[in-house]
Amino acid sequence: MSRTAAAKAQRLPIPEEILRPTFRRERRALARGVWPVAGCDEAGRGPLAGPVVAAAVILDPERIPRGLNDSKKLDAEEREKLYLKICATAEVAVVFGSTDRIDRDNILRASLWALARAVKALPVRPKLVFVDGRDRIDCGCDCEAVISGDALVTSIAAASIVAKVTRDRLMMRLGLAHPGYGFERHMGYSVPEHFHALNRLGPTIHHRRSFAPVAAFYGETVVEVTVTDTGLPLEP
């Protein structure tokens, strides 16, 4: 092999390892005698309309559905199938943070409130909770915040699926109740179709007045930055 060919061969990229959530943190807790363990996550921080939805899940170590992953890495059909399996085998609770609460408290506080309430709404009280993100929640037991937890912790991944499917189903119903906005397609997110509908029809009662694009219709100025589900601000 020539030196040139050998050099090119050495520059071939190494395939990145596919990151999938594991049950390791939960099993370590179980080995310490800490159980039940819950995972919690929310869906809907970034949209201009609709509630933020939080879910808490306690998985059965003996009946963990195959294929659990960060909800953003699954298509709608996969999420629906896993949602049914999670609800059939795990303890599940869901709480909605309304648009009124979002506008009154801000989206971060409304999300943390919903996450804490979801944990407290579980039929079995957990001894440890893993929550997605940087912020721990006041849920009446030990809590560990895990950045990118929906991609790392199986229980959080399960909660992310439950929250996403629940919210998507609600937005589809809102799409039927408010034709012309396209909620059933964009789920309230900031996409051109949504902006065109806002310009044409104006905001509904389900729109978040504290988010700048909606506040503009009321002649209000919003200093707060709209945050996406990944924790990053939306581009202007």
What's the pLDDT score for residue 231? 42
Higher pLDDT among residues 229 and 148, named by residue: 148
Taking residues 161-166, report their average pLDDT. 98
Give 233's DSSP letter.
B
Query: pLDDT at residue 230 above 50?
Result: no
Which amino acid, one-letter code, is at 72? K
Q: Decide if 140 contacts 125 (C-beta within 8 A).
A: yes
Per-residue pLDDT band for 2 (boundaries 50, 70, 90) equals low
In a domain, 69, yes or no: yes
- Measure the CA–CA gap between 220 and 123, rounded to whole angstroms: 42
In a domain, 163, yes or no: yes
Report the percent of the chain where pLDDT is more than 70: 86
Which residues is 153 bridged to in the sheet? Answer: 22
What's the pLDDT score for residue 196? 96
CATH of the domain at 48: 3.30.420.10
200-221 core/surface letters (b: 16 or more CB in 10 A; e: else): eeebbebbbbbbbbbbeeeeee
In a domain, 180, yes or no: no
Taking residues 214-221, report their average pLDDT. 84
Taking residues 22-26, report their average pLDDT. 97
Which residues is 92 bridged to in the sheet? Answer: 57
Q: Domain of residue 158: give its range.
A: 24-170
What's the pLDDT score for residue 220? 72
Q: How many domains does the chain contain in total?
A: 1
In a domain, 227, yes or no: no
What's the pLDDT score for residue 15? 55
Distances in Å between the Cα of 210 and the Cα atoms of 21, 47, 61, 117, 228 are 34, 11, 41, 23, 14
- Measure the CA–CA gap between 115 and 230, rounded to whole angstroms: 16
Could you give the angle at the alpha carbon of 58 between the alpha carbons of 54 and 63, nearest 5°? 130
Instruction: Give the position of tokens 């609770």.
Output: 93
Q: What is the per-residue pLDDT across 88-106, written as a single tens digit (0 to 9) for each?
A: 999 999 999 999 999 999 9
In a domain, 182, yes or no: no
Taking residues 67-87, report their average pLDDT. 97
Q: What pTM was computed for the model?
A: 0.87
What's the pLDDT score for residue 118? 98
Query: pLDDT at residue 12 above 90?
Result: no
Q: What is the per-residue pLDDT across 129-142, written as a single tens digit (0 to 9) for each?
A: 999 999 999 999 99
Taking residues 170-180, report their average pLDDT. 98
What's the pLDDT score for residue 19? 79
What's the pLDDT score for residue 117? 98
In a domain, 193, yes or no: no
What's the pLDDT score for residue 10? 59
What's the pLDDT score for residue 219? 83
Per-residue pLDDT band for 13 (boundaries 50, 70, 90) equals low
Query: pLDDT at residue 183 above 70?
Result: yes
In a domain, 197, yes or no: no
In a domain, 74, yes or no: yes
